[in-house]
Structure 1
Amino acid sequence: MFGKPKSRRTRNAVVDILNGFLSILVLAIIVLVGIVVWGISQFYAEGQSSQDTVFIVERGNGLSTVAQRLEDAGLISNRWIFIGGAMAEKKERALKHGEYKLTAGASMADILTELSEGTPITYSVTFPEGYTSWQIVERLNEAPLLEGNIETLPEEGTLLPDTYVYERGATRQSVLDRMIAAHDEALAEIWAERDPNLPLDTPEQLVILASIVEKETGVDGERPQVASVFVNRLKRNMRLQSDPTTIYGITKGVGTLGRGLRKSELEARTDYNTYQIDGLPAGPIANPGLAALQATANPDKTAYLYFVAAGATPSDGHLFATNYADHRKNVAQWRAVEREAAAEAANEAELTREALEQQEAEAADAGN
Structure 2
Amino acid sequence: MIWRNIASNFLTLAIVLLIAAAAAVAWAKREFSGPGPSAIAQCVQISPGASLNAVSNQLAAQGAISNAYIFRAGADYMDKARDLKFGSFLMPPQASMEQIVETVTAGGPSTCGTEVVVRVGVRENTVLLRDTNPETGAYEEMARWTPGSGDRPAPLVQAQDRADVRLSLVMAEGVTSWQVVEALRAADFLTGEVAEIPAEGSLAPDTYLLEKGGDRNAILAQMASRQAAILAQEWEARPFGMPYETPEEALIMASIVEKETGQADERPQVASVFVNRLRQGMRLQTDPTVIYGVTNGQAVLDRGLRRSELDTPTPFNTYRIDGLPPTPIANPGRAAIRAALNPDETDYLYFVADGTGGHAFSRTLEEHNAAVARWREIERQQGLPADSPVQTAD
> Can you list the C-alpha shifts for 1:312-358, whole angstroms capped at 9, x where unaligned?
5652413343xxxxx3x5575456435533542359xxxxxxxxxxx
Report the alpha carbon displacement of residue 282 of structure 1 after superposing the two structures with TM: 1.6
1:156 aligns with 2:200: yes
> Can you list the C-alpha shifts for 1:90-116, whole angstroms capped at 9, x where unaligned?
7554433333344555555x2673366
Distance, in Å, in 1 between the alignment partners of 2:304 and 2:19 is 83
Distance 1:83 1:35, change over 3 A: farther
The equivalent of 1:75 in structure 2 is: 64
**Secondary structure of the structure 2 residue equivalent to 1:201:** coil
1:261 aligns with 2:313: no
Report the residue type matching 1:99 in the other structure.
S
1:315 aligns with 2:326: no
Distance, in Å, in 2 between the alignment partners of 1:253 and 1:62 is 47
Instruction: Report if aligned partners of 2:278, 2:284 keep a CA contact under 8 Å in 1.
Output: no
> Can you list the C-alpha shifts for 1:230-259, whole angstroms capped at 9, x where unaligned?
3135xx4x5433322110112233442111
Report the residue type matching 1:96 in the other structure.
K
The equivalent of 2:275 in structure 1 is: 228
Report the alpha carbon displacement of residue 61 of structure 1 after superposing the two structures with TM: 1.6
1:44 aligns with 2:29: yes
Instruction: Report if aligned partners of 2:278, 2:323 keep a CA contact under 8 Å in 1.
Output: no
Structure with a larger share of its residues in strand: 2
Report the residue type matching 1:247 in the other structure.
I
Trace 1:22-61 onto structure 2 (pairs within 5 A). 40=25, 43-46=28-31, 47-61=36-50
Q: Which of 259, 280, 284 pairs up with 2:324?
A: 280
Report the residue type matching 1:75 in the other structure.
A
Q: RMSD between aligned alpha carbons?
A: 5.1
**Secondary structure of the structure 2 residue equivalent to 1:56:** strand
Structure with a larger share of its residues in helix: 1
The equivalent of 2:151 in structure 1 is: none
Report the alpha carbon displacement of residue 154 of structure 1 after superposing the two structures with TM: 5.2
**Secondary structure of the structure 2 residue equivalent to 1:100:** strand
Distance 1:35 1:88, change over 3 A: farther
Distance 1:158 1:73, change over 3 A: same
Distance, in Å, in 1 between the alignment partners of 2:76 and 2:172 is 47
Deviates more, 1:125-134 or 1:167-176: 167-176
Distance, in Å, in 1 between the alignment partners of 2:100 and 2:351 is 62
Report the alpha carbon displacement of residue 150 of structure 1 after superposing the two structures with TM: 10
Distance 1:58 1:168, change over 3 A: farther
Report the residue type matching 1:186 in the other structure.
E
Report the residue type matching 2:328 in the other structure.
P
Distance 1:288 1:320, change over 3 A: farther
Rg: which structure is higher? 1
Report the alpha carbon displacement of residue 309 of structure 1 after superposing the two structures with TM: 2.6
Instruction: Report if aligned partners of 2:52, 2:81 keep a CA contact under 8 Å in 1.
Output: yes
The equivalent of 1:341 in structure 2 is: 378
Distance, in Å, in 2 between the alignment partners of 1:313 and 1:90 is 53
Distance, in Å, in 2 between the alignment partners of 1:90 and 1:211 is 47
Instruction: Report if aligned partners of 1:309, 1:317 keep a CA contact under 8 Å in 2.
Output: yes
Report the alpha carbon displacement of residue 181 of structure 1 after superposing the two structures with TM: 3.3
Distance, in Å, in 2 between the alignment partners of 1:86 and 1:344 is 64
Report the alpha carbon displacement of residue 35 of structure 1 after superposing the two structures with TM: 9.7
Aligned sequence identity (%): 36
Distance, in Å, in 2 between the alignment partners of 1:149 and 1:194 is 45
Report the residue type matching 2:360 in the other structure.
G
The equivalent of 1:251 in structure 2 is: 295
Distance 1:151 1:31, change over 3 A: farther
* Larger RCO, structures 1/2 (Cα 8 Å, 6+ apart): 1
Report the alpha carbon displacement of residue 49 of structure 1 after superposing the two structures with TM: 2.7
1:240 aligns with 2:284: yes
The equivalent of 2:252 in structure 1 is: 208
Instruction: Report if aligned partners of 1:54, 1:100 keep a CA contact under 8 Å in 2.
Output: yes
Report the residue type matching 2:256 in the other structure.
I
Report the alpha carbon displacement of residue 89 of structure 1 after superposing the two structures with TM: 7.0
In structure 1, the gaps of 5 or more residues are 1-28, 322-326, 348-368
Distance, in Å, in 2 between the alignment partners of 1:318 and 1:343 is 21
Report the residue type matching 1:98 in the other structure.
G
Instruction: Report if aligned partners of 2:351, 2:359 keep a CA contact under 8 Å in 1.
Output: no
Distance, in Å, in 2 between the alignment partners of 1:299 and 1:76 is 53
Instruction: Report if aligned partners of 2:75, 2:101 keep a CA contact under 8 Å in 1.
Output: no
Distance 1:302 1:246, change over 3 A: same
Report the alpha carbon displacement of residue 183 of structure 1 after superposing the two structures with TM: 3.8
The equivalent of 2:240 in structure 1 is: 194
Report the alpha carbon displacement of residue 166 of structure 1 after superposing the two structures with TM: 8.3
**Secondary structure of the structure 2 residue equivalent to 1:55:** strand
Report the residue type matching 1:248 in the other structure.
Y
Kindly tell me the number of residue pairs found equivalent between the two proteins: 301
